[in-house]
Amino acid sequence: MNVEFSKADELWHDAECYQSPSALHGWLTGHLAAGARPNRQQWLDEAYTYIELDDERPEPLSQFLTAMHDEVMSSLVSEDMHYQLLLPTDEDADVIEQVECLAQWSKGFLDGFGASGVKADQLSDDVLEVLRDLDAFSQASIDEPHAADNEVIYAELAEHARISALTVFYTLNRQPPASPALQ
């Protein structure tokens, strides 16, 4: 992933953003997974609204947000499934903060998905199940900070969220089969 959490976190801190980088990354992923295709200006408008910086748009942050959009879109459509969630690494944060960011990413995904306008009655049972899982993840927290298996559970949840995002994207963005050529 070219868009790194540590760089995003630094830009967020400098700009005094309200939402976390993980939440906005989740929002963008959910929005794209639902089928929305904002152009760059629409994306920047949506992003700045979500992070509550409508009046101020620092150029370094705008460049980062544009790169985030391009990377998320290209990784979602890639056949190698290299899409990754924007979450802190072990070097960036402890497992408690990592789980908080995963919860924020999950809530962001649901917010972005909802902002697309897709109605629940248009969704398959599989997609609804994934959305319910992400809703549960949005409430995730660490009850026992020193439990030995926290890192393993976090890694499993993050991978489940990654696969969930890809599942929703592929389910809702399949190309219809080509019609047979007339002979």
Q: What's the rounded Cα separation, in Å, for the pair 27 and 33?
A: 10
How does pLDDT run across 67-97, given as a tens digit for each residue?
999 999 999 998 888 899 999 999 999 999 9
Residue 179 included in any domain? no
The domain tally of the chain equals: 1
Residue 182 has pLDDT above 50, yes or no: no
Residue 178 included in any domain? no
pTM of the model: 0.91
Residue 99 included in any domain? yes
Distances (CA, A) of 99 to 39, 44, 173: 31, 27, 29
How does pLDDT run across 121-156, given as a tens digit for each residue?
889 999 999 999 999 999 998 888 788 888 999 999
**How far is CA 153 from its chain centroid?**
19
Q: Which residue has the tokens 């929002």?
A: 27
Predicted local confidence at residue 175, as pLDDT: 60
Residues spanned by the domain of 32: 5-171
Residue 182 included in any domain? no
